[in-house]
Amino acid sequence: MHPNDKVAQRRERKKANREKRREEQLEREWHREMLELYKSETPKDERVRGV
Protein backbone atom coordinates (compact mmCIF):
# COMPACT_ATOMS: atom_id res chain seq x y z
CA MET A 1 0.00 0.00 0.00
CA HIS A 2 1.31 3.41 -0.95
CA PRO A 3 1.82 5.86 1.97
CA ASN A 4 -0.25 8.49 0.16
CA ASP A 5 -3.23 6.16 0.10
CA LYS A 6 -3.33 6.19 3.87
CA VAL A 7 -3.30 9.99 3.91
CA ALA A 8 -6.05 10.15 1.30
CA GLN A 9 -8.15 7.65 3.25
CA ARG A 10 -7.76 9.65 6.44
CA ARG A 11 -8.71 12.84 4.62
CA GLU A 12 -11.81 11.21 3.13
CA ARG A 13 -12.86 9.85 6.52
CA LYS A 14 -12.36 13.25 8.13
CA LYS A 15 -14.45 14.90 5.44
CA ALA A 16 -17.24 12.32 5.82
CA ASN A 17 -17.25 12.73 9.59
CA ARG A 18 -17.41 16.50 9.30
CA GLU A 19 -20.40 16.28 6.95
CA LYS A 20 -22.14 13.80 9.23
CA ARG A 21 -21.59 16.02 12.29
CA ARG A 22 -22.94 18.99 10.35
CA GLU A 23 -26.08 17.10 9.37
CA GLU A 24 -26.66 15.97 12.94
CA GLN A 25 -26.23 19.53 14.17
CA LEU A 26 -28.75 20.86 11.64
CA GLU A 27 -31.19 18.13 12.64
CA ARG A 28 -30.83 19.00 16.34
CA GLU A 29 -31.40 22.69 15.60
CA TRP A 30 -34.49 21.81 13.55
CA HIS A 31 -35.90 19.70 16.38
CA ARG A 32 -35.26 22.48 18.86
CA GLU A 33 -37.04 25.00 16.63
CA MET A 34 -40.00 22.68 16.19
CA LEU A 35 -40.20 22.20 19.94
CA GLU A 36 -40.09 25.95 20.55
CA LEU A 37 -42.79 26.47 17.95
CA TYR A 38 -44.93 23.76 19.53
CA LYS A 39 -44.48 25.24 22.99
CA SER A 40 -45.33 28.75 21.84
CA GLU A 41 -48.44 27.71 19.90
CA THR A 42 -49.89 25.17 22.32
CA PRO A 43 -51.39 26.12 25.67
CA LYS A 44 -49.76 24.28 28.58
CA ASP A 45 -52.80 22.17 29.50
CA GLU A 46 -53.27 20.95 25.91
CA ARG A 47 -49.70 19.76 25.47
CA VAL A 48 -48.80 16.12 25.23
CA ARG A 49 -47.33 14.99 28.52
CA GLY A 50 -43.56 14.70 28.55
CA VAL A 51 -42.95 17.53 26.11
Does residue 24 lie in a domain region?
Answer: yes
Does residue 26 lie in a domain region?
Answer: yes
* pLDDT at residue 10, rounded to an integer: 96
* pLDDT at residue 19, rounded to an integer: 98
Q: Which domain holds residue 31?
A: 3-37
Around 9, how many Cα atoms within 13 Å sit in the side-chain half-sphere?
6
Which residue type, as a one-letter code, is found at position 16?
A
Non-local (6+) Cβ contacts of 51 within 8 A are 35, 38, 39
* pLDDT at residue 50, rounded to an integer: 58
Count of domains forming the chain:
1
Q: pTM for the full model?
A: 0.57
* pLDDT at residue 41, rounded to an integer: 85
Does residue 44 lie in a domain region?
Answer: no
pLDDT, one tens digit for every residue, the chain (51 residues): 678 899 999 999 999 999 999 999 999 999 999 999 988 888 777 767 655
